[in-house]
Amino acid sequence: MDSLAKIIRTIRSAPELKRKSPIGGAVARLANPAGEFLVKAGMGEDAGAIRVRGGYLLLSADGIWPLYLQKDPFAAGRALVIANTNDIYAMGGKPLGLVDVISVPNPRLAEPILRGIKTEIRRLRLPVVGGHLHPDAPAPGLAGAAVGLARHLLMSSEARVRDDVILAMDLRRGRRGKGGARTWDTHYWKKPDQILGDLGLLSRIAGKKLAHAAKDISNGGVVTSLGMLLEASGRGAVITLESVLYPVQKFSMADWLLTFPSFGFVITAPPPKSRRIVRMFDRRGISAVVIGKVLKEKRLWLEYEGERELLFDFPRNSITGISK
């Protein structure tokens, strides 16, 4: 069993965490006041949100980690679809279409990537509406973007002090990625109606105004994604790791906290409403539990087996550098 000290060392040294640190510098370079009157949410959120009649146009973009792409190009194609659509759903929206950019040294190497993309767009009933292929790139690369619509928004920058922190993940039939990759796939066995019903819970939560903030769990796992939400909100939290449910037979606690799931979200909400949110997930068979509280101080604390240790001190040790 992992000790709290080992869990914190593993998280802090994880490449999934370290590779997020340049994001803040890139965002600072691209900051532009033009069009701000149209923009409801942008840098630091799962998707950009532009005001349109009747709601918001959502735009998400994601690139697949090159090491993951080289290890399993079929899974990488699926992950591209999942990552982009989860970003739209996390904002309370519904995806409308996807574009992709595929770079390969030889055109035939694109086949498993395309097969993975096709598998997941069929499952999510989402069309690929365009894209670009580099057939003679010096190295493989994969990126994409999705567009969606939302009537009501969930943002990752609106967590409030004393909110409950809810972790919602599908722990039913799942499988770990090849080669011990920190991924947890529960999409593979589901019918489209079931997946879309599960993901549609986020737009229902947004429409009922039950939550203050939400973020999908992306590459880097639960604590990194929660840390990015807290950083963007200018808040902190204390998390009780005993509350985190996970498939013990397949992961250590440290690995699980860094795992990218096909279905996983962190949500913050006031206690009376958080209980409603948990029940909504429970009714669909999704595991949802309160794992902590949002704090005013800009620090993320972990509690485990009677110990409490500081994981992130955001003013000193930022994840992305995007904060209030």
Q: What is the pLDDT of residue 1?
A: 67
Q: Label residue 211 left, alpha or beta by phi (over 0 means left) and psi (-120 to 50 means alpha).
A: beta
| Domain locations in the chain as residue ranges | 4-19+154-313, 38-150
Q: What's the CATH code, domain 4-19+154-313?
A: 3.90.650.10
Tokens of 208: 């009922």
pLDDT by residue, tens only, the chain of 324 residues:
689 999 999 999 998 888 888 777 777 777 655 455 556 666 779 999 999 999 999 999 999 989 889 999 999 999 999 999 999 999 999 999 999 999 999 999 999 999 999 999 999 999 999 999 999 999 999 999 999 999 999 999 999 999 999 999 999 999 998 877 889 999 999 999 999 999 999 999 999 999 999 999 998 899 999 999 999 999 999 999 999 999 988 899 999 999 999 999 999 999 999 999 999 999 999 999 999 999 999 999 999 999 999 999 998 888 888 887
Strand-pair category, 236-240 with 287-295: antiparallel
Question: How far apart, in whole angstroms, are the C-alpha atoms of residue 24 and residue 171?
Answer: 33
Q: What is the DSSP letter of 243?
A: G
Check if CATH label 3.40.605.10 holds for domain 38-150: no
Q: Write out the DSSP string of 162-188.
A: TPEEEEEE--SS-EEPGGG-SEEE-ST
SS3 53: coil
Q: What is the pLDDT of residue 32?
A: 59
Classify burial at 237, counting beta carbons within 10 Å of its beta carbon; exposed 0-12, middle 13-18, buried 19 or more: buried
R_g of the chain, CA atoms, integer Å: 19
Q: What is the pLDDT of residue 30?
A: 74
Tokens of 197: 């019903």
Q: What is the DSSP letter of 43?
A: T
- Tokens 């009933």 appear where? 125
